[in-house]
Structure 1
Amino acid sequence: MEPAISDQVVLVTPQGEARGTLLKSEAHGTDTPLHLGFSCHVIDGRGRVLVTRRALSKRTWPGVWTNSFCGHPGPGEGWEDAVRRHGMSELGLAIHEVVSALPDFQYRATDASGVVENEICPVFTASAEDLPEPNLHEVVETAWVAPHDLRSAVEAAPWAFSPWMVLQIPQMPLYGGTPSSDASPGV
């Protein structure tokens, strides 16, 4: 039986070209291959951003505060479909107005346990009207915060947040940032 789309990551070349798939459970380790991921920053009707605290059972960065949600598109899955799927599965949110914010974002980071993230990771913003109903295997807490307050918190205590969010916020207009002119290649 073939693995479900949500159980696979798409492996890519440094130029962002697909070169195969790998089970998500096998993809992340001390020598994680470059693969596709994404991040999403959800905004409510009052202009606040949803931040989430990763579940304590997560393999990497457990208990760390991060953007609204992140994930991996499955093989052949479009970015917007992947964003909507993860918004529903992780937060029970119907996601609207998916917009590309940092199409060329890429990062590599190592967790305290030694597990590496290595992703071409476009960043999106989206809107949601409902309150989140977190999947507790993914998210243990949520908070809505003004964008400028989140940027201040990240600048004051970057160690308390996911490394990808720390890198994203200064580049995103939502937080008063400017996209980097030396962005890594993306898809």
Structure 2
Amino acid sequence: MPMTRQRTGSDTSSVNWRADALDVGEYLAAETAAKKGKTSVDSIVALVQAERERWDEEKEALEANVEDLKEKLRSMQAARSPDAEKQALKREHQELRKAMKARSRFGAWVCERHMKESEDEETDAEKEELRRQISELFVRLRAAKVAVGAASSESDFSPARRCPGPIIRRRQ
């Protein structure tokens, strides 16, 4: 079926003018034929009237067909277009996805912060444990020095023979 152009207001007026021109032309042709004696004007006018009626019927049938097709197109478009509830659900789905992303980012931030704090606590706890051990060792060392000092004063060892400890030299 060839594609037809939909007629606008100016196209319709030119079509009417053409139809009128054809009618005048057909009438003149009918008169000329009648003058030549081949057919009568009335028979030609009747023939033109019959053709015009046939064209009108065909035009009405085509217009009805066009209206049916337009109605089918509207129903198909209505069936394809999403309804209001579906649109609302889509919007709600998008909002929920955004909220989930935001919560996920927040959760990741909280988790990362907690990890850093726990690492700091672990390092602080380890450092504190090492400090406690060092201070305990210093207490034992003092006690050992006191015990060695008391023992050396009781014995015949001279102070020069005692272990003086490491010699600390200062740079000048």
TM-score (norm 2): 0.19
Higher CA-based Rg: 2
> Taking CA–CA contacts closer than 8 Å with sequence separation of 6 or more, which of the two structures ends up with the larger relative contact order?
1
Richer in helix (by share): 2
TM-score (norm 1): 0.18
Richer in strand (by share): 1
